[in-house]
Every structure is written in structure tokens, then in C-alpha cells.
Structure 1
Amino acid sequence: MRKITLIVSFLSIISCNTSEKQNSQDFDFTTVFEKSNGTETPTYPEVIAFYKNLAEAYPSIHIQEIGMTDSGNPLHIVTLNPDAVFDFEKIRETKRVLLINNGIHPGESDGIDATMLLFRDIAQGKINAPTATVLVTIPIYNIGGALNRNSGTRTNQNGPKAYGFRGNARNYDLNRDFIKNDTKNAQTFAKIFHVTKPDVFIDNHVSNGADYQYTLTHLFTQHNKLGGELGEYLHKEMHPQLEASLEAKKWDITPYVNVWGTTPEKGWTQFMDSPRYSTGYTTLWNTLGMMVETHMLKPYKPRVEGTYELMKSMIEITEKDGVKIRSLREKTFAKQAKQKAYPIHWKVDTTKVTTFDFKGYEGEYIDSEITGAKRLKYDRDKPYTKEITYKNYFTSTTKISIPQAYIIPRGRWRVIELLTLNHVEFKPLEKDSTITVEVYHIKDYKTRTSPYEGHYLHYGVSIKKDIEKVVFKKGDLIVKTDQKAFRYLIETLEPEAPDSFFNWNFFDAILQQKEGFSPYVWEDKAAELLNNNNELRVQFQDKKKDTAFANNWYAQLDWIHKHSNNYEKAHMRYPIYRVLK
């Protein structure tokens, strides 16, 4: 079995720590945020300089470069470990890892400032350092967006004065790229993720949508999708602990208000984070993921302060429950191998809801002075507390049987690159082999009519299954599902899954027929075929009972062609094969 591993030399890790630390008094660690009284956020160079100085002054801090971004600048991680051990293989022997991602949308800069303050305060002893948890942060993930600084594109947002842009250096939204890996940013994130192997993951954001009283909202990965004991822990223990901890600090928090174009008092449905999103991706390896979503209309200062307090609370929870979290993750990995089916589509479970008191503002629809149409207007002079319904239970609608393995032709190099990047274990065939496999044919699919992150996404996929003996070539890959990349394999290689490689257009070449026929030639051959094949002739006559088919001479010839040996096998034939258990 070949196992893809990542070595330090491959990552070109560049340490910014030195054996001799400078005196902390040599540096001014007052941040731009503090100097501006909570109205400004630092530039990208200022952020990196801050962490490099912090690493120079304090042995508990380590900064290093890992991989490249689309901007041409390297991506950094900063690690905080009071033991001054920064080898993650050694760290995981005794401690848990909490990874914090910032600036995926650099205009949403709250986490950038809050994490700078958090790491500094821990290093300086202003707050207690975690003893069983190592903190890792990506200071600014979307460097290209951070360098594209402006003061206008966050139309709905109340500060800071200047900030980065949502799109990266190639104008990709990086929080849609974790599965498809179109950007160097996402490819480097995968390296970071598989080096650090975090137990808990936080991605810091700022919300859009409705108006309400809260500064803080949280968006945990969907607990039913995570599933099992780990999902139960997230839903029944981690989530309530976070809310209770913040309430004790006098910080109100509510689940992310997934409401658009209307008011929240009727309740809402939890956001379902598929693997294109950060927490959907990290969940594929049983990492407990959550997004922080501060409210865009609140002033910048309390948004940063709230993010700071939320991260402190998550550290405290990870410290207290770290052994349990690690144990549940390992149990989940072990149980995956015994599963017979895997859910790939979900819907809201209407039999279960959560109710809680929500603090909002009254809203009404009034006449627009611009358009004359009705527009939504919130009245902050009319706050309310109302019980609302939160639909945060989901049930699966489609399950697929789990194969023993997938076989991937060696020519599918783009897929193989992503499997390698994501530490998928595989073994190449040592010689040409005939293997009985399940073969998919794409029966039907739909395609979005508008571009989305560089793609025209497919959806609504249905398949036809056949069992065939297929000749595979030496070097084709056998990828067993009994491995830690189990969820990743199912979510990417099963074409019906929402964020499958098929739906992201990796295999669009199979949807186009490469060889056809000239009708004047095929007419004679088709007639001969029908004369010599009574079963096919009966099927053809039955098909002609369809009036539209009977009135379309080309469709008739094409139907006969597709039922002949002249029709190419590759058309609509999914090029990943399943070895059944």
C-alpha cells in the first residue's frame, strides 16, 4: 500500500524563529486596531511583520511559510505552543490542535485583528496559555484579496475604514474552492490541514443578511451530516457550552441568521455546509468545524472583541474536552470502515426543530423613495425578544452503497493530484488486469446556466449501473475506501454527491460524443442491423409509438446508432470504477 506523506522539505517550510530570541521590549506589539481605537485593520505586510516580531520575542510562537498563493506570496501559519515544540507529529502525541483561519474574505477582517490580540496576550501572559491545546492560525488566507485594499466593496458593513476584497488574486471566492482546488490558496490550505491535522477548526467571518441585536453568531458544521457520536457531541455538548461560556461573559450569541430578503421572526433553516466550504471540507476528516459570523452592521471594535472572546471560549472547551474530542474522532474513523451506505443528499427534518428566544428588531415593508416598490426597513428603536423556530435537524434523502475500492485510470492525473494532495492512500496495479467492477453511466443531469466560481455546475445527476469485466492497465490506481480519507473519497468520486468532481466539471469530456455518423451512410447499415437483430427491431418499433420520436428521422437513426457496436463506449460512461464489497 502506497501512502502519500508530506515531508518538511517538500513544504519548503521556512522558519522565522531564531535560536536567540530578542528582548520583547525591543518591539511595540500595540496593534493598528488598538492604535486606531478599534476603527482600522492592518495591511497584509503589517500583519506578517507583527507575527514575525512576536516569534522573535517569544519562544512559544513560531511562524513558517507553507506553499504558495495565487497572489505570488507564500501562505504562513503561526503556531502557539508554550512547550516550544513545533513538530506536529510530536504535538499530536500529547496535545490537541485548534486551527484558526482568518481573512478568507479579507473585507471580513474581524478575525485577523482578534487573533493577533489573542496570540500576543497569551504569549505575554495576559491570559492563561492552554496546556493541552496547541493553537495554529493562518494570519490571512486570501492574500491577493487583502492586497486589493479599498473602502467601498463591503457595502453592508460598518467598518473598518479600509479592508481587503472578497475575491482572491484571480477573483475566486476561496470559500467555494476547498474541494475543487482551482487556486493555489486552496492547494496550500490542504497541505496545512494535513500537516496540522486539527481536532477543532474555526473560520472567522462577518455576516450579511438580516438585522438583529446580536454582534456574534455561530455556524457549526451540520451535526446530522457529521453524524454519530461526534455529531451528537457537537450538537449537545460543544454548541451549548460555547453559548453558556459567552453568556457568562455577557456576550449574546445566536446561531447564524440564515435569512435573506425577509425578517427573522418566522425562524430559519441551518446553513448546510457542503465540502466546497471550509467547515464542510474539514468535516471530511472528522474535524469539528465552526464559522464565526459577526454582524456586519455593528461597529468594528465590538465585532473584534466578540470574536476574541469567542475564540477564548472555544480554546477553553477544547482544553476541557480535548481527550474526549480526540477519542470520538478516532472512533468515527474506525466505524467508517464498517458502514455499508453513505448519505449524500439531505433535506430538513420537519419532525424536529429547536426553539429559542431571539433578539431582533421590528421590520416592515415600506414604499421605496427610489423605485416606488416595497422595501424592507428595520426599526432599531423597536427591539424585540421572540421565540423562533430554528430548523437544524436534517435527514438523508439519498444514500449510496460504499464500494470496497475505486479504480482510477492513471490518465486521470488531475484527480490523482488532488488525491495525493489530500493524503489519500492508493496502490497502482502492477500489471494489466481484468477486474469485475460496477460501472456508472450518466443517465441524466442538469447544468447551471450562470457561471459559478469558474464553472457551470452540474446537479440533479442520475446514473445507470452495470456490472462489467473491465481491462485495466498497469499503473491504474486501486483506492480502498477503508482509510481516513473515506468521506473525501465518497464526496468527490460519487457523481451524485453535490460537490463531486463530476458536478465540478472534471469529467465533462465524457458528456460530448466524439464520433458520429453521416445519415446517408448509416441508413443502409442501420437497415441491415435491424434486419439481422429481431430484438432490436421490436424495441425500435415500440419506441416509434412515441409521436415525437416517430416524427424525428435523425433521432431514430441516432437511437439505432446508440444501440450498435459503432457507438463509442466512452460517451456518458463515468471513468471512475467501483469494486464492490
Structure 2
Amino acid sequence: MRITLLTISLLTFISCNTSEKKTAENTNFTTVFEKSGGTETPTYPEVISYYQNLAETYQEIDIQEIGMTDSGNPLHIVTLNPDKVFDFKKIRKTKRILLINNGIHPGESDGIDATMLLFRDIAKGTFEAPKNTVLTTIPIYNIGGALNRNTGTRTNQNGPKTYGFRGNARNYDLNRDFIKNDTKNAQTFAKIFHLVQPDVFIDNHVSNGADYQYTLTHLFTQHNKLNGALGDYLHNEMHPQLEASLRTKNWDITPYVNVWGTTPDKGWTQFMDSPRYSTGYTTLWNTLGVMVETHMLKPYKPRVEGTYELMKSMINITEKDGEKIRSLREQAFADLPKQNTYPVNWTVDTTKISTFSFKGYEGAYINSKITGAKRLKYDQNKPYSKEVRYQNYFKPTTEIEVPTAYIIPKGWWSVIDKLDLNQISYKTLEKDSTISVELYHIKEYKSRKMPYEGHYLHYSTTVEKGTETITFKKGDIIIPTDQKGFRYLIDTLEPEAPDSFFNWNFFDTILQQKEGFSPYVWEDKALELLKHDEKLKQKFEEKKKDTAFAKNWFAQLDWIHKQSDNYEKAHMRYPVYRVLK
């Protein structure tokens, strides 16, 4: 092609023009939220395009795709580091990392907009960038829900005009999926979390529930679960610092108001975030977690602005206390595996109560004009400030003896895949090996009558213990508990833990007996068994003192069958074995 002077001039113009578009001075980073006067939130493509443009303009910002979601779109993480280093292994050597998750429920879009503003303002130098803290965000976690925009499903919420839907592309509530990993979103989150390994985690939400004066509420992970010094720091230092910092900026904040169907003036109990929830999951690796809950009835603009200020305050706390946070987390990783026991179930400790002044609205029960029944009505013309009781201390109800290791037969690959996803270390048996172990039989459990997030979740599970010498097969895995995933292992592999893999139905095949007996055949064999086993016969006669048992012929035959070698060992036997210290 012949290049003319005109062509050269045109190419020069295009080159200069492209360069100008990538400079901060010539790029418009005014958000949809700002353009709309605080009434609208951007679409998913607009959010990603915004961050891509930021990354192209500011070398301090990096955006990358990691993994897939159920929507068929990849998750992105955006990282802001003034040092322009985006290798997390290198970052962790000198800095602390704060991970911000947005749009897990895309109708609760406050954090999406607040984080866009936050990253832009730091990059532009609107306020000083943190020197010792690196920020990473997932711009929108529930992409499928974000693409499913509507104007009505957040029935209780005051703006924005349009927003995403709570369920993801497969209609999962992603804030119930962190431990079970049913969705590609949750599987990718695990990859991101273990890549980033944050010291502090923020998940931005909008509340439902009671009415009150506050725009901002916070839900810190339950401090008793963190054990010792790390929990004490969260409860006695980080939590008060956040509230104090926001007060200096004229932002009132209160603990998340965990009240439903009544008024909060008599107080409430802290929400207990088990590992199905984001902060419950991240806490398994001693990450300090806080869920932001703005109030649904407040206008959208102040909700976004409050979320923005809260994140700035958390950055400042992390910046100031970074070395302490690092030290406390490392100490927790070192100390936890040394424990002889570990709590897997908790209840409210009613002997310890926190009190504080709460700003609410008077509420009353009046006659409904629709149903004629009594209905709750708040009167925002009657604000009050009252001392309330806040139950934010919990104590263990079930504790297990910590094993040296767990053993899982290789056939339970679906569970082993989850361990791999969460970077759990284990050894694979290179040959058949005979090992003395403690084993569980499932004694009792209850199940939900209705499906819950794709499962009929078990609860109130109890076990019976036994010991046995078992020959495990080549390829079975031994998982030492002395590792960073200590808490994850116990919370998933101990059946009595509320979010254990057993309670999430991953071992349900052991609950069904595969072989039985025909009574007319077993009658004769059972009689012979009783004739030749005097101890069994005595136990049987003792059992028949139970009138109901004595009147149930099948129950009697079944009981004898379960005491015999004919009864299958797999029934109700939990296939995760414990090597004791």
C-alpha cells in the first residue's frame, strides 16, 4: 500500500487521539449513579467497562478474569495498589489485603456503586491512597442476577430505579452457597479467596426487617468463633473503631438489627454467620469479616454514600492496625491445631449482655385494612433513643475432640473435590494400609420438610462413636488437621457442625439401607442365632421389656438382624474416619 502524506497525518491523528482517551484528564469517570443524581445503578456490562477503563487509565489498577459463573460469564477481580504490583504472593510480604465483595444480591446494589466511586477517587488522588493496604474487589459477584434486571422484586426497598435479582442464573441464593459450592460462582469465589488470602473482608448488602433511624448497620462475624486474641481484637478494637470513625463523619451506625415481625426496642440477638454465608466462610481462615447492611427504606443516594464512608473507615483501620492484624492471624493459624477440643455448635450466652443507645421509631399493632388482623405499623414521626439489650456473646454447646487426621475413602470424590477447591493438603495412600481409627455412626438427625437452596438440609445431628481397625485402600486420602484449613476441615467433616457436608446431604447414601431380609427366611436364622449367642438372647429379652417393642414383631426381627453379621456395615456409618492423637 502506498502511504501518502495524508495517510501519515491521519494515522498520527488517530494515534494521538487514542493516547488522549487513555489519559485521566480526557476520560470521563462520572458514574451512572452520579449522572442520575443518586437514583440509578449501572448494568453489569457498564460496571465491567468502567473498571476496564480505569485499569487502562491508571497503572495502579488491574482487572483480571478468574473462573466462571453459572451465567456463563467470568468473574472479575479489580485490584488497586499504588505500587503497581499485582502478584498476591509478593503483596502479602509487605502489605495487608482488604477484599470487597459486591452484588451477591444484585438488587442490593449500594456496594457496587460505592466501590466504583472509591476506586476512582483513590486513583484520582481525591484522598490519599493507603500505603500499606491493597484493595481488591469483585465488582458484581452474582452476574446472572445482575443481568436479570427489574423494578419490583425488592418490595421493601427505596431505590434504585432498576436493579438485579437475588437468585443467580440457576436461582441460587449465593449467600447460602459458600461452604457447599453448588454453583460455579461459589467455586470461583473459593479460587479468588485462596489467591487473594485477604486479611479483612467486606460484603456489601441492604437490609430487610425492622424500621429505624439508621442508614448504616454492620454485621461483624461472631467474635467468639474467632477464638482468643483475634476475636478479642475484632470485638474490642475493630468494631468500636469503625463506629467511632463513622461518628466523626456524622454517620450513625448500629449493629445489624436482627429483628423480624416485631419492634427492636427490647433488643435482639446477633446474627450468627455460619460457613454457608460469606463472612462465616472467610472466617474459617481467620479473615476478619464484616457485612454492611444499609437500611432498605432510606433513599438510595445516602445508602451509597454511607457504604462509601464505611469502606474508607475500614481501610483506615486496616492501614493503622495492619501489623497487629497480621500478627494475630498468624498466631491463630499456629494455635488452632494445637487445641484438644473444638466447638462445632453454639448458643447464645445469656449471662453476657451488651447495651447501647438505639435510635428507632415507635411501632404499634393496628388493625389491617386488608385482612382485619393486627399488623405492625412504624411511625417515623415518633423517633426515640432507648437503651437496648444486644446479645452478642455465644458459647459452645457441642465440642469435638480434635483428631490428628481424617481419612476419606477415594470413592467420595465429590467431597475430595471440595477439599481441593479449598486448597486442603492431604496425602494419598500409596498402598493398602491397616489403621486404627475412631468412627461415627449417625444416631439421630432431622431434615427440612421443604427444599432449601437445592437441598433438604439436615440439622440436630448426633453421632455414636466407636473404634475399629480398618484396611484402607490405595488411593484413599489422609488429611492432617495441622494446616491452615483446620477450621474448614472440622466445620465440614464433623457431622454435628451445622454446615457440615453431612448436613448438606453429601453423604445421604449411607442413610438408606441397601440390603434387607424376608421375614419368613430370617425367622429361622434369627432363632438359630439366639440359640447360640446367650448374651444376644439376654439383650433381646431385656429389649422386649419395652411394650411397644414387644408388640412389634418386625421391629424385633429387625433388631436381631442389626446385631448380626448379615447387617451391612455401611448403613448409617459415616465414611469419614478420625485418627486420634
Fold agreement, TM-score > 0.5: yes
Q: Deviations over 1:31-81 (max 9, x none)?
A: 000000000000000000000000000000000000000000000000000
Partner of 1:137: 137
Residues of 1 paired with 2:373 and 2:206: CA distance? 29
Partner of 2:393: 393
State the AA in 1 paired with 2:531.
N
Equivalent position SS for 2:482:
coil
Closer, same or farther: CA 26–358 of 1 in aligned 2, 3 Å: same
Q: Does 1:233 align with 2:236?
A: no
Question: Displacement, 1:20?
Answer: 12
What is the letter of the counterpart of residue 189 of structure 2? F
Task: Give the corresponding residue for 2:9.
Answer: none
Q: Kindly state the Cα deviation for residue 22 of structure 1 after the two structures are TM-superposed.
A: 2.3
Instruction: Report sequence identity in percent.
Output: 79
Query: What secondary structure is seen at the aligned counterpart in 2 of 1:316?
Result: helix
- 2:251 alignment partner, SS class: coil
> Quick one: distance in 2 between partners of 1:161 and 1:141?
20
- Give the CA RMSD over aligned residues: 1.1
What SS does the aligned partner of 2:285 have? coil
Question: What's the TM-score once normalised by structure 2's chain length?
Answer: 0.96
User: Conserved in 2, the CA contact under 8 Å of 1:21 and 1:56?
Assistant: no
Deviation beyond 6 Å, 4+ runs, structure 1: 18-21
Inter-partner Cα distance in structure 1 for 2:19 and 2:63: 14
SS at match of 1:284: helix
Question: How far apart in 2 are the matches of 1:21 and 1:337?
Answer: 54
Check whether the contact 1:21–1:59 (CA below 8 A) recurs between aligned residues: no
The C-alpha deviation readout for 1:300-337, integer Å capped at 9, x for no partner, is 00000000000000000000000100000000101112
Q: Which amino acid aligns with 2:300?
A: Y
SS in 2 for 1:136: strand
Query: Is 1:381 aligned with 2:373?
Result: no
* 1:222-371 equivalent positions in 2, closer than 5 A: 222-371=222-371
24-33 or 325-334, larger mean C-alpha shift: 24-33
- Per the TM alignment, residue 542 of structure 1 is displaced from its structure 2 partner at its CA by 1.2
| Unaligned segments of structure 1, at least 5 residues | 1-17
- Aligned counterparts of 2:411 and 2:19: Cα–Cα separation in 1: 47
Counterpart-to-counterpart distance in 2, 1:50 and 1:368? 47
Name the aligned partner's letter for residue 550 of structure 1. Answer: A
SS at match of 1:332: helix
- Give per-residue Cα distances to partners, 1:103-162, cap 9 Å, x unaligned: 000000000000000000000111110100000000000000000100000000000000
Shift of 1:27: 2.4
Name the SS of the counterpart of 1:123 in structure 2.
Answer: helix
Is the 2:99–2:202 contact (alpha carbons within 8 Å) kept by the matching residues of 1?
yes
8 A Cα contact 1:209 1:257, kept in partner = yes
Please list, as runs of the form range in 1=range in 2, the aligned pairs for 1:126-525 lying within 5 A after superposition.
126-525=126-525
Contact 1:21 1:58 in 2 (8 A): no
Per-residue CA deviation, residues 219-258 of structure 1 (Å, 9 max, x unaligned), is: 0000011121000000000000000000000000000000
Q: Report the counterpart of residue 4 of structure 2 in structure 1.
A: none
Is 1:106–2:99 an aligned residue pair?
no
Q: CA deviation at 1:549?
A: 1.1
Query: 1:19 Cα shift?
Result: 12
Distance (Å, rounded) in 1 between the aligned partners of 2:492 and 2:21 = 46
The residue number in structure 1 matching 2:92 is 92
For the 8 Å contact 1:427–1:479, the answer to whether it is kept is yes
CA 1:368–1:19 in structure 2 vs 1: closer, same or farther (change >3 Å)?
same
SS in 2 for 1:203: strand
Answer with 342-351 or 212-221: which moved more: 342-351
Contact preservation (8 Å) 2:68, 2:188: yes
| Within-5 A mapping of 1:59-74 | 59-74=59-74
- Contact 2:526–2:561 (8 Å) recurs in 1: yes
Q: Matched residue pairs, number? A: 564
Alpha-carbon distance, 1:26 to partner: 3.9
With 370-379 and 342-351 compared, the bigger mean Cα shift is at 342-351
CA distance in 2, matches of 1:478, 1:196: 27
From the CA coordinates, give the structure whose radius of gyration is larger: 2
Distance 1:414 1:199 in 2: 29
Give the counterpart letter for 1:254 in structure 2. Answer: T
Which segment is superposed worse, 273-282 or 22-31? 22-31
Q: How far apart are 1:450 and its partner, in Å?
A: 1.2
> Shift in Å at residue 473 of structure 1?
0.5
Q: Aligned equivalents of 1:568 and 1:439: distance in 2?
A: 15
Tell me by how many angstroms 1:344 deviates: 0.9
Query: 1:248 and 1:267 mapped to 2: Cα distance?
Result: 25
Kept after mapping to 2: 8 A contact 1:251/1:306: yes
Letter in structure 1 aligned against 2:556: Q
